[in-house]
Amino acid sequence: MSGKDEPPKLSPVEAMKTSSRGLRGDLDAQMNDSLTGNVTETGKQLIKFHGSYVQDDRDRRAEREEKKLEWAYSYMIRLRIPAGDMTAAQWAALQESCDRNANGVMKITTRQTIQFHGVVKARMKPTMKDFDALGLDAIAACGDVNRNVISGSNPAIAPFHAEVHEYAAAISEALLPKTGAFKEIWLDGEKLEDGKEAEPDPLYQNRYLPRKFKIAVTIPPHNDVDVFVHDIGLIAIGSGEMFEGFNVSIGGGLGATHGNPKTYPRLGNVIGFVAKDKAVEACWQIAAVQRDYGNREDRSLARLKYTLDRLGVDFFKGELEKRLGFALAPARPVSFTHRGDPYGWFSDHHGQWYNTIFVDCGRVKDEDGYNIKSALMDIAQENLCSFRCTANQNVMLTYVPEGNKPKIDAVLAKHGITQGHHTKTKEEAIACVALPTCPLALAEAQRYLPEFVSKVENLQRKHGLIGDAITTRITGCPNGCGRPYVAEIGLVGKGPGRYVLRLGGDYQGERLNRVHLEEADEGEILGELDKLLGAYVKDRKAGERFGDYANRTLFAQAS
């Protein structure tokens, strides 16, 4: 932050936000400029608020440069799909749109939504129009606003799952930017008159939040959303059929920068309990406190977690309660047991059927006879059920009428989708996108995970542990998009083929792992895991998970 008497030196993104007239800027003109596939630096920041990032195919940079061509620019679009829920018609039409406008591989993200990659500039408006025709949009899927709100996918976890699940959409709506810019730019909406001020926005005003803001909802004991790594984590409390409200966790976040100790992953603090009818308002006010107190000078320190560590959790909570006009009740006792998705057929408390389909790193494509894209398309086109993206990058078939189960089984079998195709470790593994599209990637992630996990599986086999799930996550850089800091085995990209090896996270996502090797190649990582898994088999306590064992034996002093 600036010295006491100096005016704060706001980050350049702040000026972009305040001068954008409700996120308009000159984005429309830039999208109509067919001379380049790129946009300006300001345009790059602005377009994020519309759910899109300018990217290029990093595998093709050298070839393009040699030919004196600009990089192969295209756009990633991230949809806003609260709680990941879609109808069959929406799924089928999205897949068709992805085939027509993007690279044909829909990517299910760790935040329960879908990304299109490889959309060229000229296809941006048609793609956004496709979304609109389906009742979907991409607004606020990225940018310094509240992002897609995620919610625990497993409906069997409590009789009140559906009621809790609806909070994702309610919160997402309440915290949406009020601007008409999205309609104007992408959907040929009526233009805001020259000189006229943008729509008033009580939450975001004209400055939006200092940084991205994320909210997750879950019902214990299931923690598939990793509830403690979000700016707000809502932990549903209820008994029997009755849902009462949420324990509120604030200040989770994972992003960090190699070599900058001021940045770090952090788990949220549970600050109390809020009744269900006040939960949306509480989220709104937490975002508003962060809007007013967050760091707008240094974006690397602008997330809520740093605001809390700078001002203190008690101060933040006091300010929140002042604005809410009531005090939060004491948090209720809860415990978490697992994070993985339930695979195969299962029913909820009301007799509805569901089936989770494993999607390798969330990439919906046909590969090696496991033809997930074709299978899901057939199911959607026959309208056999609804669809839900999970925060573990899978697809859950939801609300399946009893009579459609055999039809779905037949489609799945036809396309090679059989249960037990993957080990438990594989089923729970996550990787971020990384190369070739992510500009921040230092190492491979989703293209490397299948190979790495199969090598971990070999070690598990060797040590008689193949039946165990060991949470394994890889990201291409320390931003942590695949939540590697809460994995039992976390690999964080440091350079090509080189990773930080982090160990000691717990199975249910309540403890951060720690650095075991600062930088290692595959051979060094597997050698270390071989040694540790061997020792684990011999020395583990009854029922002790690998992450707990690693934490106990490797980091005893640090605890």
78: annotated active-site residue: yes
Per the residue annotation, which of 283, 361, 389, 432 is the catalytic one? 432
Q: Which is nearer to ligand SRM, 88 or 432 (CB)?
A: 432
Residues 253 and 228 sit within 8 Å (Cβ to Cβ):
no
Judged by CB under 6 A, which stretch of 157-165, 276-284, 480-488, 518-526 contacts ligand SRM? 480-488
Give the residue carrying structure tokens 């604030």: 250
Indicate whether 147 belongs to the interface with ligand SRM (CB under 6 A).
yes
53 binds, among ligand SRM, ligand SF4, none (CB under 5 to 8 A by kind): ligand SRM
Q: Is 322 helix (H, G, I), strand (E, B) or coil?
A: helix
Burial class (CB in 10 A: 0-12, 13-18, 19+), 255: buried
Q: Cβ of residue 493: shortest distance to ligand SF4, in angstroms?
A: 6
Question: Starting at the edge strand that comes first in sequence, how are the strands of the sheet with 489-495 ordered?
Answer: 430-431, 472-475, 489-495, 498-503, 514-520
Binding mask 355-394 for ligand SRM (x = CB under 6 A): -------x--------------------------------
Indicate whether 76 belongs to the interface with ligand SF4 (CB under 6 A).
no
Residues 266 and 253 sit within 8 Å (Cβ to Cβ):
yes
Q: Cβ of residue 476: shortest distance to ligand SRM, in angstroms?
A: 9
Of 339, 370, 373, nearest to 473 (Cα)? 339
Q: Which of 8, 344, 439, 497 binds ligand SRM (CB under 6 A)?
A: 439
Indicate whether 120 belongs to the interface with ligand SF4 (CB under 6 A).
no
H helical segments located in 105-211: 121-133, 161-174, 181-186
- Rounded to the nearest 10°, the torsion over CA 315, 317, 323, 328 is -150
Indicate whether 290 belongs to the interface with ligand SRM (CB under 6 A).
no
Q: Which of 21, 214, 291, 426 binds ligand SRM (CB under 6 A)?
A: 214
Q: Is 234 helix (H, G, I), strand (E, B) or coil?
A: strand
- Rounded to the nearest 10°, the torsion over CA 221, 226, 229, 233 is -50
Q: How far is CA 128 from CA 102, 108, 109, 185, in A?
A: 12, 18, 19, 10
389: annotated active-site residue: no
Indicate whether 433 belongs to the interface with ligand SRM (CB under 6 A).
yes
Q: Which is nearer to ligand SRM, 90 or 148 (CB)?
A: 148
Indicate whether 54 belongs to the interface with ligand SF4 (CB under 6 A).
no
Phi, psi for residue 27 in degrees, rounded to 5: -60, -40
Q: How far apart are CA 493 and CA 67, in angstroms?
A: 30
76 binds, among ligand SF4, ligand SRM, none (CB under 5 to 8 A by kind): ligand SRM
Q: Which is nearer to ligand SF4, 117 or 545 (CB)?
A: 117
State both tokens at 154: 């497993």
Per the residue annotation, which of 481, 483, 494, 498 is the catalytic one? 481
475 binds, among ligand SRM, ligand SF4, none (CB under 5 to 8 A by kind): ligand SF4
Binding mask 312-351 for ligand SRM (x = CB under 6 A): ----------------------------------------
Give the residue carrying structure tokens 């050698």: 527
147: annotated active-site residue: yes
Per the residue annotation, which of 17, 21, 48, 78 is the catalytic one? 78
Indicate whether 51 belongs to the interface with ligand SF4 (CB under 6 A).
no
Is the backbone peptide bond immediately before 261 cis, with ω within 30 degrees of 0?
Answer: no
Q: Which of 481, 487, 501, 529 binds ligand SRM (CB under 6 A)?
A: 481
Q: How far apart are CA 43 and CA 28, in angstroms?
A: 10
Q: Cβ of residue 372: shortest distance to ligand SF4, in angstroms?
A: 21
Q: How far apart are CA 237 and CA 267, in angstroms?
A: 20
Binding mask 85-114 for ligand SRM (x = CB under 6 A): ------------------------xxx-x-
Judged by CB under 6 A, which stretch of 284-292, 383-391, 430-438, 505-513 contacts ligand SF4? 430-438
Instruction: Name residues contacting ligand SF4, limited to 439-458 (CB under 6 A).
Output: 440-441, 445
Q: Which is nearer to ligand SF4, 60 or 322 (CB)?
A: 60
Q: Cβ of residue 229: shortest distance to ligand SRM, in angstroms?
A: 5
Per the residue annotation, which of 266, 438, 498, 545 is the catalytic one? 438
Neighbours of 71 (CB within 10 A): 16
Q: Cβ of residue 233: shortest distance to ligand SF4, in angstroms?
A: 20
Q: Which of 86, 433, 500, 533 binds ligand SF4 (CB under 6 A)?
A: 433
Q: How far is CA 299 from CA 39, 291, 509, in A?
A: 21, 13, 26
Residues 120 and 74 sit within 8 Å (Cβ to Cβ):
yes
Beta-bridged to residue 79, according to DSSP, are none
214: annotated active-site residue: yes
Q: How far apart are CA 491 and CA 517, in angstroms?
A: 10
361: annotated active-site residue: no
Indicate whether 153 belongs to the interface with ligand SRM (CB under 6 A).
no
What residue type is 317 in one-letter code? K
H helical segments located in 175-312: 181-186, 279-293, 304-311
Judged by CB under 6 A, which stretch of 38-46, 327-335, 457-465, 474-482 contacts ligand SF4? 474-482
Indicate whether 432 belongs to the interface with ligand SF4 (CB under 6 A).
yes
Indicate whether 115 belongs to the interface with ligand SF4 (CB under 6 A).
no
Indicate whether 361 belongs to the interface with ligand SF4 (CB under 6 A).
no
Per the residue annotation, which of 24, 111, 123, 147 is the catalytic one? 147
Q: How far apart are CA 120 and CA 118, in angstroms?
A: 6
Beta-bridged to residue 503, according to DSSP, are 489, 514
Residues 480 and 256 sit within 8 Å (Cβ to Cβ):
yes
DSSP letters, 32-62, are H-TT-S---HHHHHHHHTTTEEEEE-GGGHH
Residues 341 and 390 sit within 8 Å (Cβ to Cβ):
yes
User: What amino acid positions are annotated as catalytic residues?
Assistant: 78, 147, 212, 214, 432, 438, 477, 481
List of residues contacting ligand SRM (CB under 6 A): 53, 55, 76, 78, 109-111, 113, 115, 147-148, 212, 214, 226, 229, 253-255, 303, 362, 432-433, 437-440, 479-483
List of residues contacting ligand SF4 (CB under 6 A): 432-434, 438, 440-441, 445, 475-477, 479-481
